[in-house]
Structure 1
Amino acid sequence: MFPRLSKLDITHCPQLNLPLLPSVTQLQVTNGCSRALVGSIQNLPNLERLDLNGDGKWTSFPEEMLVGLEHLKHLRFFGLRRLKVLPTGRANLKALEQFQIALCENLETITEEASHGLRFLKRIYIINCRKFKLSAGFRHLIALEHLAIEGCGEVKDIHDALEHIMTLRSLFLSYLPNLVSLPNWLGNLGSLESLYISQCPKLTSLPMSTQSLTNLKYLEIYGYSELGKRCKEGTGEDWHKIAHVPHRVIRD
């Protein structure tokens, strides 16, 4: 059964069950993310990249879907509009580096059950998931280095669960129309090097602790807002909080 096959793309085959294919390292499923198909992903034990795309009809996947995928490095869920929860089985995704979740409109958060399998994750991108909120599940992402949240209208604050992620190096916040404030504990993230804020109109100031981010090298603020005015060099009310940052870009 294809002993040298490394990349497998499946489109519109919802009844397909995958056989044992130890050589496959990349799998992309488009418009056919059925329970039958994703339930057989475990038959690809050396999988390194998994992309699930489009028109999923299920609100959840089999809990054990990711169990045994110890070589998985990149995971992507795209356009699974009905998905509400991530798989919660006891997966040991110790090689996982990047997880991208985009256009999953009904996904509400990463639950604590699901986050246990993501504790080695380094980078997570959550894009245009309108019901998504940060929650206590993030406290288990103890290896996280990069967090990007974009186009998630329900995000109103940064959950306290992120306070103890001392590995976080980059925080990207974009098109969050209801984000009101950043927590004062932000200054405790001693490894933070980059902070990017774009199109967050209700965010009007930075916490006082921003000046404690001594490793912060890059700060970018985009979008005409009160925050941009307050961070104006020399005269803005928040200028003293960011004056130590060597690379700054603040633009309308």
Structure 2
Amino acid sequence: MLAGLMEIPIMMVHLSLGELQVVCIISKNLSLTTLMNSRYYLPNELNSLTSLQELHISDCYKLESLPECVLQGLSSLRVLKFEYCSTLNSLPEGTTNLICLESLEIFHCDNLILPTTMNKLTSLRQLSITGDDDNLPNGLEGIPSLQNLFLSDFIDLVTLPDWLGTMTSLQTLEIWRCRKLTSLPASFKELKNLHELSIYECPKLVKRCKKETGEDWHKIAHVPKLKLELKSTVEPSFYEKMMSLWKKWTQFQRYHRDDFPFGEFELMIDDLLF
């Protein structure tokens, strides 16, 4: 009856150890998508899910760290995603023991510091990360197998680090909404395997990368497929619009009128409704 279960339903968010032991043998494709909302910690029993391939952790706005033991047993994990965990400040060094991990996604976890040993993730192919800082997170340097990198919303980022040129396996790079980003490092020319570069809503960088005349054109001229746009022309799907509205609502519920200066609370309501 349970052999075909692919996703834990919402009513099973709070699982006991016994339930987890059952779940871990249900399906190798099991995806945890409902570990969310107000958790201070993740259950240690997660490490018994040795067949788990995907783990999504979302809206755990009180979660500050992951115990070392939680990730130790996830030997089959391929996809790890964190989203809207605003107080999450660190991942355990044991994260680098996830030898099957192919994709790591970190969205709107602005206080998160990555382990310094990320280069030990030899199976990691895809990394997607958003931030509101003036630097990329430490720990990204020298990931040998990385092929796809997505960077978004680093609002104070002025330049990309020179070590970007050491990611010699990189094939696609997307940069979104880094509006202060003004230049690419000289080492960018070393990305010989890069075949697609997309830059959206980064006006200063787009100008510098203009074909033939831009100051950084010589750094990207070797890339076969270029998408340089001042404004994204990708229209969000209905699902994406609804998810965005839902995210705004969940964020809004955490606040009280007294938390805001005069007038800002009303502006937040207007943004939510219109």
What TM-score does the superposition give when structure 2 sets the normalisation length?
Answer: 0.74
The match for 1:143 among 105, 113, 123 is 123
Q: 1:242 to 1:116 in 2, by over 3 A?
A: closer
Q: RMSD of the alignment, in Å? A: 2.4
Pairing partner for 1:157 from 133, 136, 141: 136
AA at the equivalent of 1:45: C
Contact 2:163 2:187 in 1 (8 A): yes
| TM alignment of 1:214-229, pairs within 5 A | 214-229=192-207
State whether residues 77 and 102 of structure 1, in contact with CA within 8 Å, keep that contact through their aligned partners in structure 2: yes
Write the distance in 1 (CA, Å) between the matches of 2:143 and 2:212.
Answer: 32
Corresponding position: 1:168 with 2:134: no
Structure holding more strand per residue: 1
Task: Give SS of 1:101's match.
Answer: strand
Residue in 1 aligned with 2:36? 54
1:210-241: CA deviation from partner (whole Å, max 9, x where unpaired) = 11111100001111422111111101111000
Distance 2:41 2:132 in 1: 22
Question: What is the aligned-residue identity percentage?
Answer: 34
User: SS in structure 2 opposite 1:162?
Assistant: coil
Q: Which residue of 1 aligns with 2:78?
A: 97
SS at match of 1:177: coil
Q: Are 1:26 and 2:23 an aligned pair?
A: no
Encode CA deviations 1:77-123: one digit per residue, 9 max, x unaligned.
1111111112420623232111111111111232314x144332100
Q: 1:119 to 1:155 in 2, by over 3 A?
A: farther
1:179 to 118, 139, 157: 157
Distance 1:102 1:110 in 2: 14
Separation of aligned partners in 2, 1:206 and 1:158: 17
Number of residue equivalences: 226
1:119-130 equivalence runs, <5 A: 119-130=99-110
SS at match of 2:48: coil
Structure 1 residues 181, 109: closer, same or farther in 2, change over 3 A? Answer: farther
1:109-128 matches, cutoff 5 A: 109-113=90-94, 115-128=95-108
Q: Does 1:67 align with 2:50?
A: no
**1:45 aligns to 2:24 (yes or no):** yes
**Is the helix fraction higher in 1 or 2?**
2
Which position in structure 1 is the counterpart of 2:63?
Answer: 83
Native 8 Å contact 2:51 2:77 kept in 1 = yes
Distance 1:116-1:188 versus aligned 2 partners, 3 A rule: closer
- Note closer, same or farther for the CA distance 1:247–1:116 as it changes in structure 2 (3 Å cut): closer
CA contact (8 A) 1:54 1:80 kept: yes
One-letter identity of the residue aligned with 2:20? I
The whole-number CA distance in structure 1 between the counterparts of 2:134 and 2:20 is 32
2:183 counterpart letter in structure 1: S
- Once the two structures are overlaid, the 10-residue window that deviates more, 200-209 or 240-249, is 200-209
Q: Relative to 1, partners in 2 of residues 1:236 and 1:110: Cα closer, same or farther, differing over 3 Å?
A: same
Q: Write out per-residue CA displacement over residues 172-194 of structure 1, whole angstroms, 9 at most, x where no aligned residue.
A: 00112133332212112111000
| Counterpart AA for 2:34 | L
Contact preservation (8 Å) 2:110, 2:132: yes
Q: Deviations over 1:35-66 (max 9, x none)?
A: x647852442225221234323x32223x332
2:190 maps to: 212
In structure 2, stretches of 5+ residues that fail to align are 231-274
In structure 2, the residue matched to 1:108 is 89
Contact 1:97 1:121 in 2 (8 A): yes
Distance 1:88 1:179 in 2: 31
TM-score, scaled to structure 1 = 0.80
**5+ unaligned residues in a row in structure 1: which ranges?**
8-23
Query: What amino acid maps onto 2:222 in structure 1?
Result: H
Out of 225, 236, 242, which is 1:247 matched to? Answer: 225
Q: Is the 8 A contact 1:145 1:170 kept in 2?
A: yes
